[in-house]
A and B are shown apart, each in its own frame.
Chain A
């Protein structure tokens, strides 16, 4: 298994749908992150979990709901999204707060 795996790779959803993104890391790291990447914008940090406890919520709308059942798994539950939420959603992990992030391959999300 590669270090950080994300599923699905691509997702198209309507504004009334509910879907979930999944991330799993096999690196033994204790911190996991969700980032959003939109065209021409910097990577935006959404959520941080340390030892499965949420330590950062970067003013993310409630239509995005994270879940971290253990240090290896991270989910992002999506509901009633808007077209402007279309973006690449990246999961990452790191050991402690070293700042060295290992990214998954991302989920390209399109909201119609």
Chain B
């Protein structure tokens, strides 16, 4: 089993819709979770972090964490074409020190 799993997509949503991106992880003791956005040909940039069960909202973005089920998700409301990118889930595994383990990413396409 991969340590951090994401559906590679592409996930296509119409403009204005809610995009839902999911990530599961194998280490039950993990405490820190991050979402990075990577535009084609660019480097990843951090958009959300979440540490506690429940929802965390930042503008159009909402991160959701369920440690019992070992999944973390990212919702993007009112999706815009500029949201088209690859979204990387990253988890700080137990005993990993400074190490983040990344998923392969989900490609999101927001269509006009």
Contacts and interface: CB of A to CB of B under 8 A. Distances in A.
B28 interface: no
Interface in A23-65: 31, 33, 40-43, 45, 48, 50, 55-56
Interface of B: 4, 8, 32, 34, 36, 42-46, 49, 88, 90, 92, 97-105
B17 to A, nearest CB: 27
A40 B36 CA distance: 16
B98 A50 contact: yes
Interface size class of A (residues with CB under 8 A): 20 to 34
B100 A103 contact: no
B97 A41 contact: no
Given A42-B102, A101-B100, A104-B43, 16 more contacts: A41-B104, A42-B101, A43-B44, A43-B102, A45-B100, A45-B101, A50-B98, A55-B97, A94-B98, A97-B97, A97-B98, A99-B34, A99-B90, A100-B49, A102-B46, A105-B42
A42 B32 contact: no
